[in-house]
A = this chain, B = another copy of it.
Amino acid sequence: MHPKTMMQSLHFSLPSWLPLFADSWRGGDEPQRMAFVIQAARQNVLEGSGGPFAAGVFEQDSGALLSLGVNLVTAEQLSMLHAEMVAIAFAQRVLGRRDLGRRGSPALEIVTSVEPCAMCYGAIPWSGLGKVVSGATDADARAIGFDEGPKPTDWTRPLVERGIAVTTQVMRDEAKSVLDDYARSGGIIYSPCDRE
């Protein structure tokens, strides 16, 4: 490996449609936040910018939107760029700090259109987020061929034990319909890589 050829920095970008979409958020309660995130997942598929997944980081009380992430795995060819990872990273950049749970700051939550996979699940405690709200389930993702990875069956408990609230199956049917439409349209089921 030669220093001249070794990359020193890495960047990735949100789809061009996303900032304007995010700007259309007018606030609302948890089901409304989920509906908005589900619509972002659908938009990501329609625009051809990635997989059928989206996640947003919101202030729990005010509903203010801090960041909106979509799945960028195929667009950026980086396997870590699941919607939750993207939303968390941008939220950390917006605030300028890695700890999204700092005392004295508005409590934050991640609203994700599908239950987090094993990676995103493991990422949540490190982010400091105080709450997870999910739509479609692991089973819904697996039903169209997405592997959710080696994650405990009772995945919510270790989060709750760490003081992270979890609400699942918010607008599950609507979230699932994005997955199902994606599969029907022949979308790339990218997770399992070539080996399987």
One of B13, B130, B159 near A9 (C-beta < 8 A) = B13
Question: How far, in angstroms, from A130 to B195 measured CA to CA in the complex?
Answer: 9
Q: Tell me which of B88, B121, B128 contacts A195 (CB under 8 A).
A: B128
Which residues of A from 22 to 39 have beta carbons under 8 Å from B?
22-23, 25
A2, B14: Cβ atoms closer than 8 Å: no
The copy count of this chain in the complex is 2
For A117, the chain B residues whose CB sits under 8 A away are: 122, 126
The number of residues on chain A lying at the interface, defined by a beta carbon within 8 Å of a beta carbon of chain B, is 71
Q: Once bound together, how far apart are the Cα atoms of A191 and B77, in whole Å?
A: 28
Complex alpha-carbon distance, A126 and B119, angstroms: 9
Bound-state CA distance A97–B159 (Å) is 33
Within 8 A of B (CB), among A1-52: 1-3, 6-14, 16, 18-20, 22-23, 25
A103 at the interface (CB under 8 A from B): yes
CA distance A191 to B191 in the complex (A): 27
Residues of A participating in the B interface, judged by any CB pair closer than 8 Å: 1-3, 6-14, 16, 18-20, 22-23, 25, 64-66, 68, 73-74, 77-80, 85, 88-90, 92-94, 96-99, 101-103, 117-123, 125-128, 130, 147, 149-152, 155, 158-159, 162-163, 190-191, 193-196
A-B pairs, top 4 by smallest CB distance, nearest first, are: A118-B122, A119-B122, A11-B11, A150-B158
